[in-house]
Each structure stands twice: as structure tokens, then as C-alpha cells.
Chains A and B, each alone.
Chain A
Amino acid sequence: MSMRRYILRRIPQLIPLCIFAIVINFTLMHLAPGSPIDYLVGGGEVVPKEYIEKLTREFGLDKPLHEQLLIYILNVFSGNLGTSYRYRTPVLQVILERVPNTLLLMTTSIMFAFVLGIFLGVSSSKRPYSLVDNLASTISVLGYSIPTFWLGMLLIIVFSVYLRWLPTMGMSTIGAQLEGWEAVIDTLRHLILPATTLGTTYLALYTRLTRASMLEELRKDYITTAWGKGLDDRAVYYRHAFRNAMLPVTTVLGLNLGLMLTGATLTETVFSWPGIGRLVYDSIITRDYPVLMGIFIIVSITVVLANFIVDILYAILDPRVRYK
């Protein structure tokens, strides 16, 4: 019961939040120097004034900023995200084409990091400052500090250029017409390097976080009691400490999942992965305001939803939350 009320209370919060996100993003974007027309008239030495005027009118850029904002908000709430300046196709279509690609990459990386990170974190916490712990810490700190861009290039050079094991770019072999399992395997082969690159950054986060919160739990009285009862390692670490230690880790996972739709600009760029991250970057460079706004709105909604899911997960993991 309380859960339903909780959900109902949270949903209306979405609307002001979205408006807030729209206003902030819209204003910042339009105040930044540069104009979308510049991209479209790009290489032209001699661009007729009528053409520029036509585009300005068509995009509504001739109206005062507050009026543009109002029109935009009204459009959004009638379900219209506008048309991309660059592609001249509906924004929603442009974004939706990229969503599956980004989801595949982000889910794989985050899951990879989450599972491996927890494993490394728990292992480290069993014997702090042991060889295993130091190794895990070194790996994760390195992974966190290495620039994604550089790591991606390094993996390409080693695994693609020298060893020729894995492809350098894209989501599938260009030009090959594969079907069924062959296509799936092909996509997975293309996924390995970008997912590893992106996952490595998250890995550090989960490893360190799991380790820290495990250590904190292990210091508590109930663990001493558990040891005192003569419980074995497994029961103490996993049934007692681990469940409690998972709370902060889950929070971070939820936040990461919320950002899943933002994509990963650098990784997507290095591996020519046609995802949302690259769309954001391209849209900034071309000042494709409608596409950018569309992405921001969708991301705002997912972040809120993800936080919401985390709250529910809390309730499952920690019974005390449920009873309140």
C-alpha cells in the first residue's frame, strides 16, 4: 500500500523537474555563442541572405528567446520534441535510432563492472592490505585514472592492430550480411573492446565502494556476534555483512543506470559506436538545439526513474526502510 502511495507521490515531481531542466538547458544553450545556421551554411563562401533568413524563420530563431522557450515547452507537453536542424527529421526518431546501441553498450559495461567490482571488493575486504587487496586496489585505481580515450586506443592497438583478434570499430562487420547467431556473435565481438574500456572506469568505483562498505560492516558488533556464534566465512561475509554493505553500492548502480541513456561520448567516439553520447557531441558542435533538448529531457526522466527504482531496491535490501 505504502509503495503505491509512494509512487503516486513521486510521479508529479517529474513535471516541475522537467520544466526546470528545459528552462536551464534551453537558456544555457541559446546563450552560448555560435549559431546552428553556421553549421548548415558551413562551407559556403557565398551564401545568399534569403537562405539564412529562410532557415532562421523556419527554426523560429528570429523570435525573442523567452518566446522560443515558451513555444518549446508547449510543444514538449503536447508530445512534440521538434525537428532536428541538421537532419530535418523528427528529434524523437533521431534519438530512438541511437537508444538501443547505447543501451547495449552501457548495460554491458555497467554489469561487467558491477559484478566484477563486487567480487573484487569483497575479496579485498576479506584480507585488507593483503596481496589480493593491493592488487585489486591498484587495478581499480589505475582503471579509474586512465583516460578512457587513451585506454580505448591502447586496446585497439593491442587487440586489433597487433593481435588481430577483435575489430576496431562499429557494432558489426561493415559490409558483411550476417544472420542469426553469426550476427549475434559478430556484435558481441564488436562489443568486447568498447565495453571493457567503459567498464574499467566503473569497475574502480564498484570495487572501492564495495571494499569500503564491507570493511565498515565487518567492524560492527553484529559481525563479532556472528563470528562468536561460530558461523563460517560464507555465512558471515555474504549473509550478514554483504547484504548491508550493498546499500551504498546499489545507490551508485542506480545513479549509473540513470545515466545509461546519456551514452559515453569518448568511448563511442573512439570505437565509432553510433550511440547517444556521440549524438550529444555532434549536436553540440552543430548547435542542433532540438536534438540536444530532446536528449536532456529524456535523460532527466530516466535519472528520476532510476532514483525511484533505487528507492524500491533499498526497501528490498533493507527491511527497515520498508517498515518506516
Chain B
Amino acid sequence: MPDGFIYKLGINRGMEIGMMLRTYRYSVAILSAILLLSSISGVADAPRESYDVSQAETPRYGGTLVFLRISDSSTLNPLLTIDDPSFLVANQIFSSLIDRGIDEKGNLVYRPDLAERWEISPDGLTYTFYLRKNVKWHDGKPLTSADVKFTFDLYLDPKLALPQRPFFSVIDHITTPDDYTVVFHLKEPSPILMPLGFAFWRNHMIIPKHLYEGTDIWKNPYNEKPIGSGPFKFVEWVKGDRIVLEKNKDYYIKGLPYLDRIIYKVAPNTASQIAALETGEAGAINMVPEPEVKRLQGIEGIYVFPIFTPLGLTNYLGINQGTSPAGNENPILMNKKVRHAILHAINRQEIIDLALGGFGKVQHSWVSSALKDFYEPNVPKYEYDPKKAEQLLDEAGYPRGPDGYRFELRLYYTAGDTPRERGSEIIKSQLEKVGIKVKLVSADWPTLKEWITVKYDYDLAWFGHATGPDPDRLYVYYHGSAIAPGSWQFVRYNNSEVNRLWDESRKTVDPAKRAELFRRMQMIMMEDLPIIPIQERVLFAAARTDYRGLNETGAYWYCNHFDRVWWTKGSLATPEAAEAKIKEVESKLKEYQAGNWGKVDEALAKLQEAKKALSEGRYDAAVSTAEAALKIPTPPPPIGLYAAIAVVVIAIAGAAGYFFMRRRKM
């Protein structure tokens, strides 16, 4: 939830009790990380994971992935919530129309999920999705266009007030020409329906009509024991502790998923999470605090990888510089020269290096440079220049007083967030050099949120947001119409020209023209400076090298299907193959039994071992044991041959006896 509420104030490291590391989603483009690393070290290498990602490796079947996370889901019905921990699990159980991936250049790309292909009409008013025909709900019923229409109709129902409704409000109605075609008819063309609606990671999971129709969606019992259509099925939920999922054997992509089970375990302390990863009790952890990244990279058996890279995450200071709605305005900060001076007085690289883990580059705009199409590289840069800062402050009419200070500002950060706490101390010392006295204030997030976004009782406050996949999601942060107590527009920035350009962008479907509008807005806003941009943030997750493919899950890290994640200690044989083998051997053994073969009981005992191996997910062992079992029985004795031999022996013996008798008589 970098765009989530906790991320907003970055409660993510340090002591990390409880909520701190719920800041799952923050990250910055891989490319910017590479650029930064190479500019520092002079090595233009891509970041290396600590194992060789060899193309020749064949994925294996079986295994249980234990995935540690900071907090529990609140519901398993993805329509009822906006909190990230809930989506983390729901995205494995449910499927969406579109899946999201990253191409080699680090760009976000759309991939088929439930929809095998889709079309957007030239006028941008109809979106047609063609569904796969082999999709089944986990209870065996087929998934059809009726389920898709049912789900989206719930979003469109104003009485239900589903939290993600605004993303789809542009949809007028939905038709289903046949069981596998869904057509969305829009009220007007929308450039954001795809990136922030259909292809966003929490907005469009399809729920089963046959279980929800005619029920109160808020109280339906399936919210607790969901039936989805994704790669993993729900098994159990022990609240506050764990959620267990198992492989969906009827998953619509044949041969997937590889893993047998995923267990999401709540481990609220990141230091404990890392310890469990080191001992192998856990297979993956959803996020690594930046200060731990370098240490973990050095541990054998663990790989660390950047996550949420297409989201363009940022770390900045919000400035209380507006007036409306009236109350707690700060006339000093309303002076643009003062805002410019503050940014000139802050050495951002120093803050990144000393407090924020050293990753990510200096942020210059409110849009991250990770959003290559939208980012404006020519925004004013405000280089570190304390002399210029002092000059601007003098010009603004705030000379140093007898105590050496010009005025005092309060800087707010979330209690327990060590990096931002350290960052605040650095900012304090930097600003005090130019005569701005700084008072540091910290509190828990719910308290802070009320102070900052409801009462506007702050001067500067650490905040963060994701700028991607489309910068339009920042409308609620910077558009004048979004200013309201409790909204994210806590800087109360209101520039009529920016508002106008933004409104225009929402009507502009041409991507190039739209990007141009966003670039113009950045030029204006970075001159106005409603925020102090600090860092384009890179986030990391870590996993044991036994679990491959976690770094390739897609654009939104744990919110992509884990269907291609596999375990190196698994089997080359599929569970289906092992099961078929056992069945085959069993029927052969039964034939042998009927044919009076020897050692069949022993072979059947061996087959039990194979069955045990199958139930334990050791598929290769199951196959080889079953094959060994087949070799044990011995064919029944060939009675005809024995009889013939017996006849011959008796005959010879008789003849010999006769011969001796004759001799004696002679």
C-alpha cells in the first residue's frame, strides 16, 4: 500500500511492530536503481540475484511456499475492501480479466487472464472482452460472461457503495452477447479505465454469480471461505495467524500452478521475518526494510529483488501551503520564495544515503521518472545551495532574528519509522543552517492522519505515494476539487491552470497528447512547489533461492498470480502423471494377483509407499516407487513345463529303475 494509507507516512521500518511494514507496495523503477548504482560504482551491470537464473532450468512440481507478511487480511472478498493485505491473498484465489507483466525494458504490459483477448472500439466507447472457455470456479461450475457482468453490475450499483466504485463509474452498462463475450459500454471515452480500472491490481477480480446473486454481498458467508477461479483454492483462515491455499487442479492454464500450497503467515516483526527466511522456515517475505537489503544480499540461499517497479513510488514532504478550507494556514509557507528556499537548503542525496538506505535517486517532480511517458525531465531541479536559500529567505522578508533563526517549522513523521526519523533529523540540521528552526513531531498513523489531513495542523509532513501506473491516480492529491477534510489533498494545492489541464487530460484519449498535458502540469507545479520531493523509492522483497520465479511474478509483486512460481526441490513429474502412474501400476498389480503371480503383496505394500509419496507431494518419488513396485512380482510357475519335466524325470527314473531291476536279475 504505498498508495495505501500506511505508506503515505511511510511507517515502514525501524522497530516495525505491527503495522510498520504494511507498506508493501513501494518501489521505484528497476532502471532508475540500475542507473543510480552504476553511476556510483561505475559498473553498468543489471542487478544480480544471488542465484543464476538459468533458462535451462525446468520448473518442478510440488512444494509449499510459506509467505510472511506484516498483517492479516480483513476480508477475502476483493470487492469489499481497499486494504492491501486483503488483496495479497485474494489475487491468488480470484482471477481478473487482464493480468499485468513487465517487459524487458521494465514497462508495464497487459497479459491475458480470464480474457484471452480484448478490443477497444476506435471511438473508445466500447470495450469487448473474449473470455477463455475452460475456466471453472473452484466448486466446479463454469465461469461465464454472466459472472463478469454480475460482478461489474455490483460496482455500478450506487446503493451498494462498493469502495472501488469510482474506478468504474464511467461504465454505462454491460452486455453479454454470448457466454464468453462481455461488452462494456462507456458513457464517454476514458483514458484511465484500462490502467486504473480493468488492469489495476485490485479493481477487477470476478466473483461467482451463483453464490452471490440475491444475497447481501456484505454478509455473504463466502466472504470468509471464498470460491474463486484463480490458481489457488482457499483451504483455511486462522484469523491473525495464517491463510492456507492449495493448488487448483482445474486451473485454466494447463500444467500450472507448480506449487501445491501457499501459506500466508502473519509475522508482524520484520526482524523476525528475516530470521525465519534465514532458517528456511519461510520461503518468501513480502518486503525487506531498505537498511537490511545489503546484508540479505550477502546471505547464501536468499535472493533480494526490487518490487512494484512500474508504480513509480516517491518519498516527499508535504507542505501546508493552502488556505481552503480555512484553518491552520501557515502564511510563511504560503510564500513561494520560502518553499523554494527550503528545497535549496535540503541536500536530498545526503538524506537518501544516510537515512533512506542509499537506494533510489533524487526525486525532482511529483511524477516519478519511472513513468517514462509522463515524466518531464526539464522540471526545475532546485540544486542544493544553502547560500541561495538564505538569499531567498531574506528576499521573502524573513531575516535572521537575534537568536539566529528566521522562523520555526514543525516536521511530522510516523512514530517508529526509523528511516524517516533519521531523515527528519538530517533535514532539521540542514534547515537550521539557513536559519529555519525545526521541531520534530511524531505520532502513530491514525493520529497523524487526523492532524494532517483533517485539521491541517502541520507545517511539513513526510508522505509518499505511488505515481503509477498512471499519474491520474494523483488527482486526489493535487487537483483543487479534491480538497476536503480527510482527503489526500492535505497540501491544499489549488492552481486553476493545473486544474484545467488535468480536467482536459481526463477527456484526452490520445496517449501522446495526454502525456504532454501531464508534462505541462509538472512544469507549473514544480514552480509552485506544493511538496518537497525527496526520493524515488526502490522497494525490495526477498525469497529463498529454492523458490524460483518470485522475482518474475509481474508488475505488482504479490498481487500477481503465483502460478509460475516453483520449488527447486519439487518433482519433474506432475502430480497428475504420478497419480496416473500409480493407477496404472495398481491395475497391473491386480491383474498379476488374479494370475497368481508371486510377491504381489510385497508389491502392493510398495505401492502404498508410492501413494504416501503422492500425498506428501513427492511426485518423482511416487513415480519411481510405483515403477519399482511393478518390478517386484514374479510370474507364476509355468506348470506345463514343470509337468513335462516331472514326466521326463519320472520316466527316466522309471526307466533307470527298470534297467537296474533287470540287471540285478541277470
Contact = CB atoms under 8 A, between A and B. Distances in A.
Given A270-B272, A285-B18, A50 B242 contact: no
Contacts of B17: 265-266, 269, 281
Contacts of B166: 46-48
A294 B266 CA distance: 22
B5 A38 contact: yes
A87 B72 CA distance: 10
B281 A169 contact: yes
Interface stretch (B444-452, B545-553, B589-597, B604-612): B444-452
Contact of A153 (B158, B224, B238, B272): B272
B128 to A, nearest CB: 26
Contact residues on B (Cβ < 8 Å of other chain), bracket: 35 or more
Contacts of A39: 5, 83, 446
A98 interface: yes
Contacts of A87: 74-75, 239
Interface in B355-391: none
A169 B396 CA distance: 57
Interface in A175-225: 175
Given A48-B165, A174-B66, A88 B75 contact: yes
B267 interface: yes
A174 B272 contact: no
B275 A157 contact: yes
Contact of A33 (B81, B275, B447): B447
A54 B265 contact: no
A64 interface: no
Contact of B488 (A45, A157, A160, A284): A45
A281 B82 CA distance: 21
Contacts of B261: 175
A269 B267 CA distance: 7
B635 to A, nearest CB: 40
Interface stretch (A18-26, A271-279, A306-314): A271-279
A228 interface: no
Most buried by B among A39, A157, A168, A173: A168
B261 to A, nearest CB: 7
A42 B272 contact: no
A191 to B, nearest CB: 15
B447 A34 contact: yes
B473 interface: yes
Contact of A94 (B239, B272, B451, B474): B239
A120 B398 CA distance: 66
A164 B279 contact: yes
Contact of A274 (B5, B162, B266, B271): B266
B44 interface: no
A139 interface: no
A44 B266 contact: no
A88 B216 CA distance: 14
B269 interface: yes
A41 interface: yes
Contacts of B266: 272, 274
B241 A149 contact: no
Interface in B235-275: 238-242, 261, 263, 265-269, 271-272, 275
B181 interface: no
B64 interface: yes
A168 B18 contact: no
Contacts of A171: 241
Interface string B442-484: 0011110111000000000000000000000111110000000
A164 B275 CA distance: 11
B6 A42 contact: yes
Interface in B1-57: 1, 3-7, 15, 17-19
A284 B19 CA distance: 10
A282 to B, nearest CB: 6
A50 B159 CA distance: 8
Contacts of A160: 275, 279
A20 to B, nearest CB: 26
Nearest to A160: B279
16 contacts: A34-B449, A40-B74, A41-B5, A42-B84, A46-B476, A50-B161, A53-B161, A153-B272, A168-B275, A171-B241, A175-B263, A269-B268, A272-B266, A278-B240, A281-B18, A285-B445
Given A32-B446, A33-B447, A157-B275, 12 more contacts: A33-B451, A40-B81, A44-B82, A45-B473, A46-B473, A47-B163, A48-B163, A170-B241, A175-B64, A274-B238, A278-B18, A278-B240
CB-CB nearest 7 A-B residue pairs? A34-B446, A43-B4, A44-B82, A50-B161, A274-B241, A33-B450, A272-B267
